[in-house]
Amino acid sequence: MSDPHRHHHHDRDHDHDHDHELPHPDRSPTTRRRRWAHRIAHRLTPHSHESADKLDPALESSARGLRALWVSLAVLGATALLQAAVVVVSGSVALLGDTVHNTADALTAVPLGIAFVLGRRAATRRFTYGYGRAEDLAGVVVVLTITASAVLAAWTAVDRLLDPRPVAHVPAVAVAALVGFAGNEWVARHRIRVGREIGSAALVADGLHARTDGYTSLAVLLGAGGTALGWRLADPIVGLAITAAIVLVLRDAAREVFRRLMDAVDPALVDRAEQVLDEVPGVRGVGELRLRWIGHRLRAEVALVVDGEATVREAHRIAVAAEHALLHAVPRLTAALVHADPAPSPGEADPHLALAHHAAA
């Protein structure tokens, strides 16, 4: 994904400025003045390193997310097909609820896959931060899918409680339940691991969804055992237990997605960022510090206090060093916008005083 703030007209290494420009026949005084004006403007602009060496890991994380989704889709799709065949011949409502849940879990790979692909698109004049938020919207789709599967499982179980029917081919139901557990647990481990490694809340939520499916498959196995012992209500009661399990995972997934939509971050990341910034030579204090997720990538905005007598070049050097330290210290951080404030002098007016009435509004 191209970063929305990448300066295409700048060299990759800001420290080298434009020392490596190719020879140009136009060396007139006007051209030299323009070049120096460009350099000064570059030094005065708050910086966000958006070089290719940081974009490559971000693109790779999207590719890993896509691979995890397609593998999950294949495994869960095969599991759901096998279970559906057993549902047709057995009439087990508990297995039907598990099959519906597995199918829904497999299909959530589609909106997540679309979101990962969208997130790799270049930023535009309208979407200046890019399309990373599509991943968070996909997380909402996952939550709605879990909700729909819970409603369907509950409705089916209640209907069977009111109108009990025998379950045929109980051994086949038991085997299908074991297959469902194995497939879901494998997919859950894979999704959660990759999601946490790349910082995708939506993928982690989908992994939790799959893990619950695995436990509900074991519940189906218990229902099959009860049916084999002659307890006709075992199947629908297990169906209700499955519904309760789905509701629990719905709560966890909804909380995870809601926090991401509200730009929540782990406070430990903020503490780590402040600690690293305080250790950068030339930094006298850390003012405002903000972190936010855009998809599975972090961005930072920070105001630093530097020596009020520092030159523009020196303040710029400190800002770049601070950003560099953040990029190494904060996992999955891909960009930081650093602003340098002069340390106050006795009797000096607050340089931000002109902005105070805007902040109050």
Determine phi and psi for 217, rounding to 5 degrees.
-65, -40
Residues 265-307 pLDDT 10s = 989 999 999 999 999 999 999 988 999 988 778 899 999 999 9
* Per-residue DSSP letter, 97: H
Find out whether 46 and 339 touch, Cβ atoms under 8 Å. yes
Q: Which of 5-14, 145-154, 169-178 is predicted with the least confidence, judged by mean pLDDT?
A: 5-14
Q: Give CA–CA dist 14/87, Å, rounded.
A: 63
Over pLDDT 90: what percentage of the chain?
Answer: 17
Q: Give CA–CA dist 135/121, Å, rounded.
A: 13
* Per-residue DSSP letter, 6: -
What would the mean pLDDT of 4-26 be, rounded to a whole number? 38
Helix (H, G, I), strand (E, B), or coil: what is residue 349? coil
CA 132 to chain centre: 8
In the predicted model, is pLDDT for residue 159 greater than 90?
no
Return the pLDDT at 73.
82
Sequence-ordered list of residues with C-beta below 8 angstroms from that of 311, at least 6 positions apart, any chain: none
The one-letter amino acid at 157: A
More confident: 55 or 149:
149
Q: Give CA–CA dist 27/309, Å, rounded.
A: 34
Return the pLDDT at 37.
44
Of residues 247, 245, 300, 243, the one with CA closest to residue 276:
300
In the predicted model, is pLDDT for residue 114 greater than 70?
yes
More confident: 58 or 195:
195
- Return the number of other C-beta atoms located less than 10 Å from residue 49's C-beta: 23
Average pLDDT across the chain, whole number: 76
Return the pLDDT at 354.
73
In the predicted model, is pLDDT for residue 316 greater than 90?
yes
Sequence-ordered list of residues with C-beta below 8 angstroms from that of 8, at least 6 positions apart, any chain: none
- Return the number of other C-beta atoms located less than 10 Å from residue 248's C-beta: 13
In the predicted model, is pLDDT for residue 75 greater than 90?
no
Of residues 206, 184, 211, the one with CA closest to residue 139:
206
Q: Give CA–CA dist 245/14, Å, rounded.
A: 53
- Return the number of other C-beta atoms located less than 10 Å from residue 213's C-beta: 32
- Is 66 buried (19+), middle (13-18) or exposed (0-12) by CB count in 10 A? middle
Return the pLDDT at 279.
94
Q: Give CA–CA dist 98/84, Å, rounded.
A: 9
Helix (H, G, I), strand (E, B), or coil: what is residue 50? coil
Of residues 220, 213, 215, 210, the one with CA closest to residue 175:
220
Residues 226-261 pLDDT 10s = 777 777 777 778 778 878 877 887 888 888 889 888
Q: Give CA–CA dist 142/136, Å, rounded.
A: 10
Q: Which of 86-100, 112-126, 257-271 is predicted with the least confidence, judged by mean pLDDT?
A: 86-100
In the predicted model, is pLDDT for residue 15 greater than 90?
no
Residues 21-64 pLDDT 10s = 333 444 455 545 545 444 433 333 334 333 333 334 444 566 77
- Is 302 buried (19+), middle (13-18) or exposed (0-12) by CB count in 10 A? buried
Return the pLDDT at 315.
93
